[in-house]
Amino acid sequence: MGCSKWRAGFNFGHLKAQSKLSVFLTMIIIFTYLFYCLSGYCDSLPRPVYDQQTTFINKILGLNDGLEQKKIDAHKNSSPGSVVRELPGFDSVDSLLQGNDNELRPDNNISIANNLGSKTFPQAIIIGVKKGGTRALLEFLRIHPDVRAVGTEPHFFDRFYDNGLEWYRNLMPRTLESQITMEKTPSYFVTKEAPRRLFALSRHTKLIVVVRDPVTRAVSDYTQTLSKQPGLPSFQSLTFRNSTTGLIDTSWSAVRIGIYAKHLENWLRYFPLSKFLFVSGERLVTDPAGEMGRVQDFLGLKRVVTDKHFYFNQTKGFPCLKKPEGSSRPRCLGKSKGRPHPQISPEVLLRLREFYRPFNMKFYQMTGHDFGWD
C-alpha cells in the first residue's frame, strides 16, 4: 500500500515538473520574439506578396497616408486586375516604367502584371507592313491597360520557328485574364510560310496590317537602309531592272513588300477576312485617335486611347504621346522615325506609281476599303 502511494506521488510530481518546464520554454520563446520585434527584426520578415506590391506602388506614386493611400488600401479586397487598371493618374504600370527611364527601369523594377498572371500565346499580332507605322501603332496600344505586348520583334514565324513553341511563349509578357497578349513582326506579312505556321498554332488569332502608300513606303524603306549603308546604289538604279525599258525589279524587297494584294492572297488561304484589320498608316498620322478607335473595337477593348493622349510634333511630322503624370517629357518614337527622305526623280516615282496601281485596285477590292493612294 505504501509503495503504491509513493509511486502515485512520484508520477504527480513528475507531471508537475513537466508542466512547469513547458510553461518555462513557452515564456522563453515569447520573450525572445518580443525582444526581436522591439529590436526591429520583425519589420524585415517577409510579408504577403500583395502587401509588397502595394508598397511598390506607393513608392512609385509617392503616396502619403491621405486619401490616395486609402484608395490603394481599399483594393486589397478587390481583384489584382483592378489595381493594374485603376492606379490614379496612369493608364498602366508599364507607363510608369517607361515614362522616366532615369528613375525607373524595367530591369530593376518588376511591375505588378509581371508578378501575376501567366504567359500565353498572343491573341492578336501586328503582322505588317515594314515602314507602314507598326511601331507607332504598338506604342499607342501599350497605353491601354488591357494590352500587354512584347517590346522587340520576336520573328518567330519567319526566322526562329525551329526554336519551338515554348521558346515563343516564354517571350510573351505575363497577362491577367482581362488582358490580351500582343506582338508585332512586320515581316510576317511577306513571309510565305508565316500564315501556315500561325494557323497551326491558332486559327483564332486576330491579325492587324498597317498599310501605307506603297510608293512612299518604298522610299522610306530605302531611306532606312541608306542610313545603315551609305554606299547603297541610288533608288532609281535599284527600282528598275532595266532603266531603258522601265521594267520594275520586283525582286528588290523595297518594291516587293508594297504588292499588298499578292501577300494578302497568301494569308487568305488560311484566315478569313474577318480576322484582319487593315490600318491606314496615313490616318495613323493625321487622325491617330480615330484610327486607334477602330483598332480598340477590333480587339474588343474599351476605347481608352483617345485624342487626349496625342499631340502633333511639328519637327518629326507625326503624332507623339503626351507626357504621363510624373514624367518629365512626352513619349515620341526614336530618332530613326521621321527621317527626311532623299530627293527622288518625279519620273521614277510616277513610273513606280503606275506599276502599283493595278495591285492597289485589287487590294481595295479584297479589303473592301479604298485607301486613296491613286
SS3 157: coil
For residue 254, which of 335, 343, 334, 352 has the smallest C-alpha distance? 352
Out of 130, 131, 184, 206, pick the active-site residue.
131
Give residue 17's pLDDT band: very low, low, confident or very high (50, 70, 90): low
* pLDDT-based confidence at residue 199 (cuts at 50, 70, 90): very high
99-147: pLDDT as tens digits: 333 332 333 333 344 467 999 999 999 999 999 999 999 999 999 999 9
| pLDDT at residue 18, as a whole number | 63
Mean of the per-residue pLDDT values of the chain: 78
Q: Is 130 annotated as a binding residue?
A: no
Q: Is 335 among the catalytic positions?
A: no
Q: What's residue 99's pLDDT?
A: 36
Q: 341 among the known binding-site residues?
A: yes
Residue 43 is predicted with a pLDDT of 39
| pLDDT at res. 167 | 98
Tell whether residue 245 is among the known ligand binding residues: no
Residue 162 has pLDDT above 70, yes or no: yes
pLDDT tens by residue, 230-263: 999 999 999 999 878 889 999 999 999 999 999 9
pLDDT value of residue 216: 97
On whether 132 is known to bind a ligand per the annotation, the reply is yes
Q: What is the pTM of this model?
A: 0.68
197 annotated ligand-binding residue:
no
pLDDT at 212: 98
133 is in an annotated binding site: yes
pLDDT band for 295, please (50, 70, 90 cuts): very high
DSSP conformation letters of 66-121:
SHHHHHHHHGGGS-HHHHHH--TT-S-HHHHHHH-TTT--TTT---HHHHSSEE--
How many residues are recorded in the chain? 374
Does residue 5 have a pLDDT over 50? no
For residue 347, the one-letter residue type is E
Judged against a pLDDT cut of 60, whether residue 313 lies above it is answered with yes
- Percent of the chain at pLDDT above 90? 59
**End-to-end Cα distance, the chain:** 121
